[in-house]
Amino acid sequence: MVEDIVGKFEKAMKKGFISTLTLLVLEKEPMHGRQIKKAIEERTFGCWEPTDSTIYTILKDLREKNLISSIKTSDTDEKTITYDITEDGKNTLEIMVKKEQKIRESMRSIITSTFGIKDELTSIELNDIFDQRSPFAAMTHKPGIETRQVLEFQRTFLKKRIEILNQNLHKVEDKIIKLDDKNRNEDVS
């Protein structure tokens, strides 16, 4: 049951991200579905690899909401539909990016306080890397942030998480040992 609930939340989050990423791609230029899928994969460094069915479901949904429109182009065959972002789509995208920035700021605060990352990286590096790790920021190719910096941040972040998890593991192991000792002492009595 819990797995089903989590699965539904995950599906909704992915749909929201892919919808927004699709609008970001189309903001740059009109494209057909395969181009959109490839652009999302490339610009997110392979973090997002939507299936064809996901892309076309998202495109249908965005078109029904008047956030994108299909356009006729002379350089494609009759079966290929090219999509473009509408004014409503541009306005929606602007709001979504602002909301995502607020969420990212909250997450940055939680992560830095929980894992003590701020001591290991300057806040400028942290801000730049968090901005780059955002799926939306990845789509806009923020200049000056290299993939290596992102990977180095991930490495530092994961090392810190491992350190904290190891500390928690030792605490749990100590409690188990104490419980075992207590049970042995009770058995002897």
For residue 169, tell me if it sits in a domain. Answer: no
pLDDT digits (tens, 9 = 90+) for 29-63: 999 999 999 988 887 767 778 888 889 999 999 99
> What is the pTM assigned to this prediction?
0.58
Query: Which pair of tokens denotes residue 37?
Result: 């899928």
Reduced to 3 states (helix: H, G, I; strand: E, B; else coil), residue 69 is: strand
User: Which residue range is the domain that position 132 belongs to?
Assistant: 2-161
Q: State residue 5's pLDDT score.
A: 84
Q: Are strands 68-71 and 82-85 parallel, antiparallel or unpaired?
A: antiparallel
CATH number of the domain that 99 lies in?
1.10.10.10
Query: Which pair of tokens denotes residue 105?
Result: 């700021």
For residue 173, tell me if it sits in a domain. Answer: no
